[in-house]
Structure 1
Amino acid sequence: MATMPPHRHAPSQPTGRPVGTRRVVRRLLTLVAAVAVGAGLLAAPAHAAPSVDEIDAQIDKQWEKLEPTIEQFNKVRSQLKANQKKSADLQKKMVPLELESALAMNKVGDIASRYYMQGPSQEMGALLVSTTPGTLAEQLVILDRLAQDQHRQIAGVLAVRDKYNAQKQKLDQLIATEKRQQADLDAKRKQINAEINRLTKMLPVTSIRPAGCPKIDGVVSSAARTAIKTACAQVGDPYVWGATGPNSFDCSGLTQYAYKAAGISLTHFTGAQWNEGRHVSRSEARPGDLVFFGSDLHHVGLYLGNGVMVHAPRTGKPVQVSSISTQPVAGFVRVS
């Protein structure tokens, strides 16, 4: 009987899709995923550029740091100017005193020189040979009194001169200190102002002129009315730190300029202006009063009534009329 060959099983086939099909599916899935990711990236919103209002808010935030520094600079500068005038006045007073003391000292030196080099003068010799003892004694007493009187005069002159020298020395030291403070403040101002300028350059250029002042109602002094009229005439003029007009202003420079037209002198510094008038409550405030802002009194405007003022806001914002509620009100001062 013939032997049957062993039964060979056919090679096993994998269940499911063929190998080639699986590869195609994987490629399709990869492609779809890539397309989906790309679509998602395209759909993701790009970072929007800041709006004008957002940039303006950034500038206002920076300005909160800058304006107190500017007003401190104005304070030091006004003190420096006053002390330099005092120093110059003292120097003028010292000139005749120094001359007087020099003449007196020269006179004493001349007498001493003649006495020691030439011997007693004719007047002294006449007294020494006098046959009248009473006369000689009286003359010696007179000479002694004259010498004492001359000594007192010289000592008085020197004392006054030294007094003024000491005062001037103190002033010179103060001026040197204030110059250093001014340099420090100027460096701070430049540092912050650089950021302000950077942000300001991002703002669109506009030629829109700010709204003018409203009609002033109520009882207003003639000086206040003049100040209001003057300040309102500056609406649209640019803000420039340290400027007091006539074509650009900072906040205290504008109020100083306005009241100068009314014959009232104010210091170019908010802290000083705070003390240059009578404080009134908010309910008593009337047009022409100065309105101050911040616990450090870093800003001032000219009140127009009904919750609005005319003021020089900051770099990038010209003199304008705006609400007093944009920042904390410190108080009101009436200077007229």
Structure 2
Amino acid sequence: MARALANSHNHRHSGSRYRRGEHRPLRFLQRSAIALLLTVTALVSPAGPAHAEPTLAEIEAELDAQWLKLEPVIEQYNKVHSELKANEKKAAALDEKIRPLSLQANLAADEIGEVANRYYRTGPSSELNALLRTGSPTSLADQLVVLDRISKRRQEKITAVLETRDRYLEERQALDELITKQQAQDKTLAEQRKTIDAEIKRLERARNAAYQSTGYTGGSGASGPCPAVSVGGAAGTAVRTACAQLGKPYVWGATGPNAFDCSGLTQYAWASAGVSLTHYTGTQWNQGSSVSRANAKPGDLVFFFSDLHHVGIYIGNGLMVHAPRAGQPVQMENIDNMPLAGFKRVG
């Protein structure tokens, strides 16, 4: 009985498959095509929100965040490099002082030897005779005493010269040790510079790729007359020079005239007014006197961030000219767009 029922079930099932069998290939192909279409669609369709392409604002924010890490290293390089050049200049100046002192001491020592030699060869010189007129010594011993006095006078001169020279030599030795240390730091930072340059280029490529379709080239620069407030004197010269650099590219370590980094721009602007600034934000901060925001005037240096790693030149009405970062040219910008550290007046 069970076998009969099973055979009956199989017969019905087989019949059912048979009746549908002639349509099965078409439906199978339809299902396969749908599955394939869904697979391809999943591959070529835009990713979900978790993998969405970043917006332009997000790209700029990422670049700004990366730049906050890069710029302090750049300014540290500027600091060490500027100090190294200054100390090398000091060393050269000390060499110029040491060289004639050594020569003077050698000549004086030779002169003493020559006096003694001449005395024993030819008798008292006219110089020695002048001294002998007052004493008229009659023995060789008396004459040697006088000669000794001459030697002592000249030896005193030599001693004074040598003391000065030795003091310079001590300074030179300390300077040599510092230069050696700074040269090592400069080399290390120069190697880091290669890594930084590679990172900057990567960020620029990412930025250019993100903005290529929009034609965006700007940054967050402000528009309007530059300078925003007219000013005369040295500050006016510095401000007008800074304004004349608008649109020029940022290149770290550059001090103009074709490209700038932030402290290079302020150095260049104030150099046009006859004021020498060091190519390093930290030193520029110490080269000026502090002024409040309420008393800030065009030409003042305006610094940002707690470590003072960015600087611009104030042009009035809450605006500055600065070299922002790689990928953004020299531009005007509102000083409230970054954390303000303070103002310094130079000149």
TM-score, length-scaled by structure 2: 0.78
Deviations along 1:51-80, whole A, 9 cap, x unmatched? Answer: 444333332222112211111111122212
Instruction: Describe the shift of the 1:322–1:211 C-alpha distance in structure 2 as closer, same or farther (beyond 3 A).
Output: closer
Distance 2:287 2:149 in 1: 54
Distance 2:2 2:85 in 1: 117
Distance 2:191 2:151 in 1: 60
Offset at 1:327?
2.1
The worse-fitting range, judged by mean Cα deviation, of 181-190 and 145-154 is: 145-154
> Given the alignment of the two structures, is residue 93 of structure 1 paired with residue 97 of structure 2, yes or no?
yes
> Given the alignment of the two structures, is residue 187 of structure 1 paired with residue 191 of structure 2, yes or no?
yes
Counterpart for residue 334 of structure 2: 323
Offset at 1:135?
2.9
Task: Tell me if structure 2 keeps the 8 A contact 1:213–1:310.
Answer: no
Distance 1:16 1:235 in 2: 90
Where 2:320 maps in the other structure, the secondary structure is strand
Distance 2:2 2:245 in 1: 109
Aligned pairs for 1:229-248 (under 5 A) are 229-248=240-259
Counterpart for residue 34 of structure 2: 35
Instruction: Describe the shift of the 1:307–1:16 C-alpha distance in structure 2 as closer, same or farther (beyond 3 A).
Output: farther
Task: Tell me if structure 1 keeps the 8 A contact 2:228–2:315.
Answer: no
Distance 1:22 1:173 in 2: 96
Distance 1:8 1:323 in 2: 92
Offset at 1:241?
1.3
Task: Tell me if structure 2 keeps the 8 A contact 1:80–1:175.
Answer: yes
Distance 1:102 1:229 in 2: 56
Offset at 1:307?
2.6
Instruction: Describe the shift of the 1:16–1:109 C-alpha distance in structure 2 as closer, same or farther (beyond 3 A).
Output: farther
Counterpart for residue 165 of structure 1: 169
Where 1:123 maps in the other structure, the secondary structure is coil
> Given the alignment of the two structures, is residue 151 of structure 1 paired with residue 150 of structure 2, yes or no?
no
Instruction: Describe the shift of the 1:238–1:155 C-alpha distance in structure 2 as closer, same or farther (beyond 3 A).
Output: same
Counterpart for residue 261 of structure 1: 272
Instruction: Describe the shift of the 1:296–1:77 C-alpha distance in structure 2 as closer, same or farther (beyond 3 A).
Output: same
The worse-fitting range, judged by mean Cα deviation, of 309-318 and 223-232 is: 223-232
Counterpart for residue 109 of structure 2: 105
Distance 2:151 2:312 in 1: 66
Q: 2:9 aligns with which of 14, 22, 44?
A: 14
Where 1:321 maps in the other structure, the secondary structure is strand
Aligned pairs for 1:1-336 (under 5 A) are 10=4, 12=6, 13-14=8-9, 18-19=13-14, 21=16, 32=31, 35=34, 39=38, 42-43=41-42, 45-46=46-47, 47-110=51-114, 122-123=123-124, 135-136=137-138, 139-202=143-206, 203=208, 204=211, 213-214=224-225, 220-336=231-347
Distance 1:165 1:327 in 2: 47
Larger-gyration structure (1/2): 1
Amino acid at match of 1:144: D
Where 2:137 maps in the other structure, the secondary structure is helix
TM-score, length-scaled by structure 1: 0.80
Offset at 1:331?
0.8
Task: Tell me if structure 2 keeps the 8 A contact 1:90–1:164.
Answer: yes
Count of aligned pairs? 322
Structure 1: 5+ residue stretches without partners: 1-6
Offset at 1:121?
5.5
Distance 2:297 2:41 in 1: 59
Distance 1:143 1:8 in 2: 149
Distance 1:248 1:159 in 2: 48
Instruction: Describe the shift of the 1:53–1:121 C-alpha distance in structure 2 as closer, same or farther (beyond 3 A).
Output: same
Distance 2:168 2:302 in 1: 41
Structure 2: 5+ residue stretches without partners: none
Where 1:301 maps in the other structure, the secondary structure is strand
Distance 2:321 2:96 in 1: 43
Instruction: Describe the shift of the 1:84–1:14 C-alpha distance in structure 2 as closer, same or farther (beyond 3 A).
Output: same
Offset at 1:264?
2.2
Distance 1:182 1:30 in 2: 70
The worse-fitting range, judged by mean Cα deviation, of 262-271 and 209-218 is: 209-218
Amino acid at match of 2:41: L
Q: Choose between structure 1 and 2: higher helix proportion.
A: 2
Where 2:198 maps in the other structure, the secondary structure is helix
Distance 1:100 1:194 in 2: 54
The worse-fitting range, judged by mean Cα deviation, of 33-42 and 182-191 is: 33-42
- RMSD between superposed Cα atoms in Å: 3.7
Instruction: Describe the shift of the 1:112–1:183 C-alpha distance in structure 2 as closer, same or farther (beyond 3 A).
Output: same
Amino acid at match of 1:86: K
